[in-house]
Amino acid sequence: MAVHVGIIDQDPVRLVTPLLDNRTISTHIVFIGDKNQEDAYHRLSAVLEQRKITSEFFEIPSVVNTSLIKQSIQTLAQDLHNRGEEVKLNASCGLRHRLLSVYEVFRTYHWPIFVVEPNSDKLCWLYPDGKEDTQVEDHITISDYLTIFGARGEFHHVDLPPQLDQKLYELGERWASNALELGPGLATLNYLATTCRKEQKLDVELSEKQQGYRELNMLLSDLVEAQIATYENGILTFTNEDARRFSNGEWLETLVHSTVKQIQDSMPTIQDRSLNVQVYRKLGESEVRNELDVATVVNNKLHIIECKTKGMRDDGDDTLYKLESLRDLLGGLQARAMLVSFRPLRHNDITRAEDLGLALIGPDELKDLKTHLSAWFKAAGGSDEI
């Protein structure tokens, strides 16, 4: 049974994923880090513990002194040698001077050394020569990611009857395919659903002017036909809070999540997905809450999708910066994020998103949502090897 050894850094996911690979014959890892990285160690340990994988923390000096670090690692190596177990160094993470110090000591023991290449997620052998590179199996979850990066998630599971699920998907698809035409009507529906939320009720009376909107009437007919609302004598009544939220913009999130679910059937690199994840992060003494509209893990990389049915005029920059920030905070260097917008995007929103490394799907692309999402997921790598 091999013992893995790895160095903790700010993005330690690739120390965990090889251990979750069912072909890995290892149930123990030694995490190397300085005293300031003990919290990170405990988070990594919590994720592995759920899989019955044990771990230990080996503390090295925090000073930038390679001689001291090598002395410290020599002690660890001697201890591992005395245990008489097979040892493998995962050289995927760690500050350069620490990694090279560890590498130098471990090479003298002729222990196998590998790295997980971040873009392809391939496990590549540095030593010994001749071992074949392999694709790391995809088993890390959204919840694992949040734990590793110091957050926790609340997952909202709603099991709709298959018939209603399909009906709502078709409804969302129809609305998305006619984004430019239905835009004004959906803005009004959004306003009506928001009014219900503010007044804490499920019915709202339309003004005479609103009753005359052609696009709005088309949308109301769709809701009535799907049996999630009634519309009589100018009064719109939602059947329940979920129906109100669906009309308040969640229809787009539902559509995106259902599309991810469909793609998953033919793309095995998609290993986990969730709708409306509430994320809590510690900030000093308080806790900050954020919502991920749609989250998924593809080829061991966290993907976050923000769905927006309102225009970007007032808060476009905020939306994009927040999305970039959440991507980096919750998923590290390999995480990816996308904005799906039902309303047209301004030129500066598009250039800003490109600068921040965010993918975009606008109203013109919504009618081919599955195609665009599939291409984005495929770009996460891993599928060529399966």
- Give the residue among 157, 151, 155 at the shortest CA–CA distance from 335: 151
331-347 mean pLDDT: 94
User: What does the pLDDT read at residue 386?
Assistant: 45
**CB contact at 8 A, 342 and 183:** yes
User: What does the pLDDT read at residue 40?
Assistant: 98
Length of the chain: 386
Q: What is the pTM of this model?
A: 0.94
Query: Distance (Å, rounded) from C-alpha 311 to C-alpha 244?
Result: 20
What distance separates the 2 farthest-apart alpha carbons in the chain? 84
CA distances from 100 to 2, 95, 201, 360 (A): 22, 9, 63, 39
- Give the residue among 308, 319, 293, 317 at the shortest CA–CA distance from 343: 308
Is pLDDT at 316 greater than 60 in this prediction?
no
**120: which DSSP letter?**
T
Is pLDDT at 385 greater than 50 in this prediction?
yes
**CB contact at 8 A, 241 and 193:** no
| Contacts with 131 (C-beta within 8 Å, 6 or more apart), sequence order | 112, 125
pLDDT in tens, 153-168: 999 877 777 888 899 9
User: What does the pLDDT read at residue 213?
Assistant: 94
Is pLDDT at 340 greater than 90 in this prediction?
yes
What does the mean pLDDT of the chain come to?
A: 94
| Contacts with 86 (C-beta within 8 Å, 6 or more apart), sequence order | 1, 2, 3, 111
pLDDT in tens, 35-78: 999 999 999 999 999 999 999 999 999 999 999 999 999 999 99
The domains found in the chain, sorted by start residue, are 3-137 (3.40.50.10770), 162-248 (1.10.10.680), 256-385 (3.40.1350.10)
Percentage, residues of the chain above pLDDT 70: 98
22-43 mean pLDDT: 96
pLDDT in tens, 185-228: 999 999 999 999 999 999 999 999 999 999 999 999 999 999 99
Is pLDDT at 313 greater than 70 in this prediction?
no
Is pLDDT at 315 greater than 90 in this prediction?
no
Is pLDDT at 17 greater than 90 in this prediction?
yes
- Give the residue among 84, 75, 128, 131 at the shortest CA–CA distance from 105: 75
User: What does the pLDDT read at residue 223?
Assistant: 97
User: What does the pLDDT read at residue 77?
Assistant: 98
**CB contact at 8 A, 339 and 326:** no
Is pLDDT at 93 greater than 80 in this prediction?
yes
User: What does the pLDDT read at residue 132?
Assistant: 94
User: What does the pLDDT read at residue 384?
Assistant: 59
